[in-house]
Amino acid sequence: MAHTSSASAHTLRGSCLCGAVVYAISGPLGPIGHCHCRTCRKAHAAAFATTARVARSDFRWTRGEEVVAAFESTPGKRRFFCPRCGSHLVAAWTDADTVIVRVGSLDDDPGGRPLVHIWVSQRAPWHEINDSLPQFSESAPGAPHPPMPES
């Protein structure tokens, strides 16, 4: 899954709902996908979270870094959000060289479109997937981290 977004030639900007936290991405986004894991569903209060990876070195907070809060939702994985409005912005595994951007927090068009559904084994029972994107029971092949716990 080496596909990258066509928007990678320029800086992408993202922010929280209230505008207190703003970030910039200066490099290419990895493939965009819909994650149906339990922790993404709970963190976003939604059927899934649309995400894309980006190199840590290409991600930077441009406003509000001092207010960003984090929650360790899975051992070694922290989710970063604005404590004022609650917007989830990125997540990161402690040992990874990428961050996982919440595509819904982007202010700019990422250029690419979702390519896959992951963690459909934990899909909300009330949500039906009605598109033709590939579906994976857990993480997509080649994903950098092992399966997450069910709890």
Where does the chain show beta strands of DSSP type E? 12-15, 22-25, 33-35, 49-55, 59-63, 69-74, 77-81, 88-93, 98-102, 116-118
Q: Output DSSP code: residue 135.
A: B
Q: What is the mean pLDDT of residues 39-62?
A: 94
Confidence at 144, pLDDT banded by 50, 70, 90: low
Separation between Cα atoms, residue 98 and residue 101, nearest integer Å: 9
> Residue 149 above 70 pLDDT?
no
- Give pTM, 2 decimals: 0.84
> Residue 132 above 90 pLDDT?
yes
The CATH number covering residue 35 comes to: 3.90.1590.10
* 26 domain-assigned: yes
* 129 domain-assigned: no
Domain range for 30: 6-122
> Residue 20 above 90 pLDDT?
yes
Query: What is the CB neighbour count within 10 angstroms for residue 114?
Result: 16
pLDDT digits (tens, 9 = 90+) for 63-76: 999 999 999 998 99
How many domains would you assign to the chain? 1
> Residue 100 above 70 pLDDT?
yes
pLDDT at 145: 54
